[in-house]
Amino acid sequence: MTKGSGMGVEVRFRGVRGSTPCCSADYNVYGGNTACVELNFDGQTVILDAGTGIRALGNELVRKKIAHVDLLISHAHWDHISGFPFFRPLYRTDCKLDVYACPLSDGRSIENALETQMSSPFFPLPMSKIPSSLRFHDIESGDSFKLCGGAVLVKTLPLNHPNGAAGFRLEYGETVIAYISDTEHFADRIDDNVLSLAHGADLMIYDAMFTQSEYPTFAGWGHSTVEEALAVSSAASVKRTALFHHSPEHTDADMMKIDRAVQSEYPNAFCAKEGMRLTL
């Protein structure tokens, strides 16, 4: 199968922020919702992470009467799961949701983490009462598996992040998307796992939470930089690079400055914006 055979992937950024949502007039351009990316493989929906950006996506899926989605969760930090209880398809008896995630570094499953999130006193409705058909698939980091009737091959590798996180590489025909959030780079080399996830990708979505000048204050927090994203992009021959998981401390003015500087040197790299759509 090739791109010439008419296969298409649409990408829509639903939440691009890391750590915590931020809402004020200073965040209108790049958006304040946390990590969530919608992928559409010729009509089949795959969602990456369930940050607060998943809420509006869920409303749209219900409106469009989409009955089945696959959700891949990189890890259980708040900014990647806190939209989950507000994902409207969960409350529809006619919706089926398959959730794929690696066990957490302490061995607990993502199902257990989401159950805790929806338990008293944090949330009024326990996950056991959800009316939709919800299935969990535990995957080991390093596993590969298929989605969308076998059309999409997903490869996973562990990232360098406190409590663990998985990176995903999705291959659909010849189109490759790498989702690498959250991860901290190494000082002396590019992470082999990151390189192999990103290799030759049409689109790499990468944790560029900090700039290099900010990074020393946050070393050890589990996040990477704009500069490292560009280094990975070159080393792995990535075609387009979306800087992602923006710091909530970066206002639109800060983001525009970063975006302009990046695009002037690397025309195929850009800061992801909430609502942005790409066709691969």
Between residues 19 and 45, which has the closer beta carbon with respect to Zn ion? 19
Min CB(107)–Zn ion separation in Å: 18
Burial 110-120 (b: 16+ CB within 10 A, else e): bbebbeebbee
CB 89 within 8 A of CB 61: yes
Min CB(98)–Zn ion separation in Å: 22
Between residues 114 and 148, which has the closer beta carbon with respect to Zn ion? 114
Between residues 15 and 173, which has the closer beta carbon with respect to Zn ion? 15
Min CB(34)–Zn ion separation in Å: 7
What pairing do the DSSP bridges indicate for beta strands 36-41 and 9-15?
A: antiparallel
Between residues 92 and 161, which has the closer beta carbon with respect to Zn ion? 161
Q: What is the binding site for Zn ion (CB under 5 A)?
A: 18, 77, 79, 182
Between residues 17 and 169, which has the closer beta carbon with respect to Zn ion? 17
Min CB(112)–Zn ion separation in Å: 17
Q: Which amino acid is at 53?
A: G
Residue nearest to Zn ion (CB): 77
- Residue 103: cis peptide before it, omega within 30 degrees of 0: no
User: How would you list the strands of the sheet with 269-271, edge to edge?
Assistant: 144-147, 152-158, 166-172, 175-180, 203-207, 240-244, 269-271
Between residues 247 and 251, which has the closer beta carbon with respect to Zn ion? 247
What pairing do the DSSP bridges indicate for beta strands 9-15 and 277-279?
A: antiparallel
Min CB(179)–Zn ion separation in Å: 12
Question: Helix or strand or coil: residue 58?
Answer: helix
Min CB(19)–Zn ion separation in Å: 6
- Residue 182: cis peptide before it, omega within 30 degrees of 0: yes
Best CA proximity match to 165, nearest among 190, 184, 189: 184
Integer angstrom CA distances of residue 191 from 86, 97, 230, 264: 35, 32, 13, 26
